Amino acid sequence: MTGMLPYGRHSVTEDDIAAVADVLRGDWLTTGPQVDAFEADLAGWTGGAGCAAVSNGTAALHVAYAAAGVGPGDEVIVPPMTFVATASSAVALGAKIVFADVEEDTFTLDPAAAAAATTSRTRVVSAVDYAGHPADYDALRTALGGHDALLLADAAHSIGASYKGRPVGSLADLTTLSFFPTKNLTTAEGGAVVTPHPELLKRARRFRTIGLVRERDEQRWPDEGGWHQEVHEFGLNYRLPDVLCALGRSQLRRLDDFLARRARLVARYDEALADLPGVRLPGRRAWARPAWHLYPIRVLDGRRREVYDRMRAAGIGVQVNYIPVHWHPAFADLGYRRGSCPVAESFYSQQLSLPLYPGLSDTDQDRVIDALATALRAGSVRSAAA
């Protein structure tokens, strides 16, 4: 019996293990030189924008919203086609979430919907680079018009992607990254906040370090002694340790290879599935170079659940990404209702993520393709017999 193929998995080499082991043999396990070095390495992928490494992707969102000054009375615009943390981390700071629908082809935030949702209370507009395809950032900037809201890119799926030739990380006021094992590179758990604005970067770094102020020229009581540090605004401990930063640095050296392999696998899926009845392939814009974290197909004719079950039974670990955020009971209990974002909701009813990760062999990908064709054919035969 062939084992279950996951929809995503990490790729760890002996070089990665050696990088971690070197740190374990050294003097710094956390808040040491590997953190600064990892942040500098990340900046090489973000157009030079400053980076603050944090403990995970959800922490990155929480830190970014805190750096933006999000609090009670503020509104944060979020597309529903994302992981719940894009919204819940802003709720944790007291914000009201305003959901705005997505575009039909990329399922990223619709600039027109964002414009319609923006008010004088909007503090942040959060775009999500769904599946690794960048949102339309120039159109979103235009949509903000004269409002002073900040634009945030939830780029958990898209490190290494580019928009009109510009790298993800340089496109928004704040960008958040995730380094979970299924992402395009991993630190086991980890994330980062990226921003070209020095003051936002300073606020992010303070929030991820419990709000501590160590600079004497900014302290209220700077003459207490060399040990002295103060908290002016509350933060949390969201630091990413040196051990994991060393893993991230080693992974970054292979990110080009990871992205290239994902692109080749996407091209093979595109070719093999182009004429398969009953599915629609992911869209992309000419100006985008996606990072392809996911390969999200649409299963038509109300057959997504059936195809999911058949492929899982065949050992193919397909996944659904994601339930619309406003459908979660936590948001339903706050009064959010189904039907408010019809494009995202229609997409959810059809969406299915096929396995996609650098270690996926051509042979295993062919197994995925055959299982999908078989699942679709089996249902069609049954319908014809009925």
Per-residue model confidence (pLDDT) at position 3: 83
Reference 195, options 153, 237, 245, 248; nearest CA is 153
pTM for this one? 0.96
Task: Looking at the structure, tell me whether residues 228 and 299 fall in a common domain.
Answer: no
Within 13 A of 122's CA, how many CA atoms are on the CB side?
A: 25
Burial (CB < 10 A; 0-12, 13-18, 19+), residue 43, is: middle
Measured at the alpha carbon of residue 331, what is the angle toward residues 329 and 334, in degrees to the nearest 5?
A: 110
Residue 39 lies in a domain: yes
278 and 189 within one domain: no
Closest Cα partner for 76 from 105, 136, 117? 117
Write down the catalytic residue from 96, 164, 183, 202. 183
Please enumerate in sequence order all residues whose Cβ is within 8 A of that of 189, keeping only pairs 6 or more positions apart, or say none. Answer: 55, 56, 179, 180, 244
Q: How many domains does the chain have?
A: 2
Pull the structure tokens for residue 76: 């944060």
Same domain, 209 and 303: no
Crossing angle between the packed helical segments 198-207 and 57-67, to the nearest 10 degrees: 120
Residue 88 located in a structural domain: yes
- Residues 151 and 271 occupy one common structural domain: no
pLDDT in tens, the chain (386 residues): 468 999 999 999 999 999 999 999 999 999 999 999 999 999 999 999 999 999 999 999 999 999 999 999 999 999 999 999 999 999 999 999 999 999 999 999 999 999 999 999 999 999 999 999 999 999 999 999 889 999 999 999 999 999 999 999 999 999 999 999 999 999 999 999 999 999 999 999 999 999 999 999 999 999 999 999 999 999 999 999 999 999 999 999 999 999 999 999 999 999 999 999 999 999 999 999 999 999 999 999 999 999 999 999 999 999 999 999 999 999 999 999 999 999 999 999 999 999 999 999 999 999 999 999 999 998 665 554 44
Do residue 133 and residue 29 come from a single domain? yes
- Give the pLDDT score at 146: 85
127 lies in some domain: yes
Contact 65, 276 (CB under 8 A): no
| 361 burial via Cβ count (<10 Å: 0-12, 13-18, 19+) | exposed
C-alpha angle 152/154/157, rounded to 5°?
Answer: 155
The reply to whether 272 and 243 lie within a common domain is no
Q: Are residues 240 and 335 in the same domain?
A: no
- Going by C-alpha positions, the residue among 55, 56, 121 that lies closest to residue 85 is 56
With both helix axes pointing from N to C terminus, report the angle between 362-385 and 255-273 in degrees, rounded to the nearest 10.
30
Q: Is residue 349 part of a domain?
A: yes
Provide the CATH number for the domain around residue 296.
3.90.1150.10
183 catalytic residue (yes or no): yes
CATH label of the domain that carries residue 89: 3.40.640.10
2 belongs to a structural domain: no
In a domain, 82, yes or no: yes
Same domain, 275 and 356: yes
Cis before residue 238, ω within 30 degrees of 0?
Answer: no
For the chain, first and last CA: distance in Å? 32
Domain boundary among 190, 214, 249: 249
If asked whether residues 350 and 298 sit together in one domain, one would say: yes
Which tokens belong to 33? 């030189």
Q: Annotate 109-149 with DSSP letters as a single string.
A: BPHHHHHHH--TTEEEEEEE-GGGPPP-HHHHHHHHTT--P
**Residue ranges making up the domain that contains 359:** 254-381
Q: 7 lies in a domain? A: no
d(CA 98, CA 380): 40
Please give the pLDDT value at position 386.
Answer: 47
- 146 shares its domain with 227: yes
Last residue of a domain, one of 249, 269, 293: 249
Q: State whether 96 and 199 are in the same domain.
A: yes
Task: Please report whether residue 52 resides in a domain.
Answer: yes
**Token pair belonging to 228:** 């002295």
Which of 249, 272, 307 delimits the end of a domain? 249
Query: Does residue 97 sit in the same domain as residue 185?
Result: yes
